Amino acid sequence: MEQEAQKIFNVLFIAIFTAMLGLGIVGPLMPIYAQSLGATGIWLGVIFASFSLARAIFMPIIGKISDKTTRKKFITYGLLAYSVISLLYLVANSVLSLTIIRFIHGIASAMVIPIAMAYVGETSKEGREGQRMGLFNIAFYLGMGAGPLIGGVLHDAFGMASVFIAMSVLTGISFLLTLFLLPDISPKVYQKNKKPPRNTFKTLLKNKLMVGLVVYRFINAMGRGVTMSFLPVWANHFKISTSKVGVIISTNIFFMAILQGFFGKLADKYNKFVLVVIGASIGALALMLINYATNFWSLLFLVLIMGLGGAISMPAASAINVKIGRNYGMGATSGLFSVAMSLGMIFAPLISGAIMSYWGLRYIFIVAGVLSFIGIAIFVYFIIEGFKDIENHQYK
Q: What is the pLDDT of residue 88?
A: 92
d(CA 360, CA 296) in angstroms, rounded, equals 21
CATH code of 388's domain: 1.20.1250.20
- Lowest model confidence (mean pLDDT) among 31-45, 194-208, 351-365, 375-389: 194-208
Residue 194 DSSP symbol: -
Query: Contact at 8 Å (CB) between 367 and 193?
Result: no
pLDDT band of residue 196 (cuts 50, 70, 90) is: very low
d(CA 235, CA 237) in angstroms, rounded, equals 5
Alpha helices in the chain (DSSP H): 2-26, 30-36, 41-66, 72-86, 95-110, 113-122, 129-158, 160-181, 201-204, 208-237, 242-269, 272-289, 296-328, 330-358, 364-386
Q: What is the pLDDT of residue 375?
A: 92
Quote the number of domains for the chain. 1
CA neighbor of 348 nearest in space, from 51, 148, 101, 49: 49
Mean pLDDT over the full length of the chain: 82
Q: What is the pLDDT of residue 136?
A: 87
Q: What is the pLDDT of residue 25?
A: 77
Q: Is the pLDDT of residue 205 over 50?
A: yes
Classified as helix, coil or strand, 390 is helix
Residues in the chain: 396
Query: Contact at 8 Å (CB) between 254 and 138?
Result: no
Query: Contact at 8 Å (CB) between 41 and 353?
Result: yes
Query: Contact at 8 Å (CB) between 71 and 331?
Result: yes
Query: Contact at 8 Å (CB) between 139 and 16?
Result: yes
- Lowest model confidence (mean pLDDT) among 81-90, 207-216, 239-248, 317-326: 239-248
Query: 6: burial class by Cβ within 10 Å (0-12, 13-18, 19+)?
Result: exposed
CB contact set of 99 (below 8 Å; sequence gap of 6+): 43, 46, 47, 50
Query: Contact at 8 Å (CB) between 130 and 265?
Result: yes
Q: Is the pLDDT of residue 378 over 90?
A: yes
Q: Is the pLDDT of residue 76 over 90?
A: yes
Query: Contact at 8 Å (CB) between 133 and 322?
Result: yes
CB contact set of 10 (below 8 Å; sequence gap of 6+): none
User: Domain span at residue 24?
Assistant: 2-395
What is the residue-wise DSSP string for 313-358? Answer: HHHHHHHHHHHHHHHH-HHHHHHHHHHHHHHHHHHHHHHHHHHHHH
Q: Is the pLDDT of residue 138 over 90?
A: no
pTM, two decimal places: 0.74
Q: What is the dihedral of CA 216, 218, 222, 223, to 10 degrees?
A: 20
Best mean pLDDT range from 3-17, 95-109, 235-249:
95-109
Q: What is the pLDDT of residue 335?
A: 77
Amino acid at 183: P
Please write the tens of the pLDDT for every residue from 92-107.
888 899 999 989 988 8
Q: Is the pLDDT of residue 64 over 80?
A: no
What is the residue-wise DSSP string for 375-389? Answer: HHHHHHHHHHHHTTS
Q: What is the pLDDT of residue 5?
A: 77
CA neighbor of 89 nearest in space, from 172, 167, 170: 167
pLDDT band of residue 388 (cuts 50, 70, 90) is: low
Q: What is the pLDDT of residue 36?
A: 84
Give the distance, in angstroms, between the CA of residue 46 and the centroid of all CA atoms in the same chain: 18
CB count within 10 Å of CB 388 equals 8
d(CA 185, CA 183) in angstroms, rounded, equals 6
More confident residue, 197 or 244: 244
d(CA 385, CA 142) in angstroms, rounded, equals 36
pLDDT band of residue 187 (cuts 50, 70, 90) is: low
Rg of the chain (C-alpha set): 20
pLDDT band of residue 186 (cuts 50, 70, 90) is: low
Q: What is the pLDDT of residue 190?
A: 54
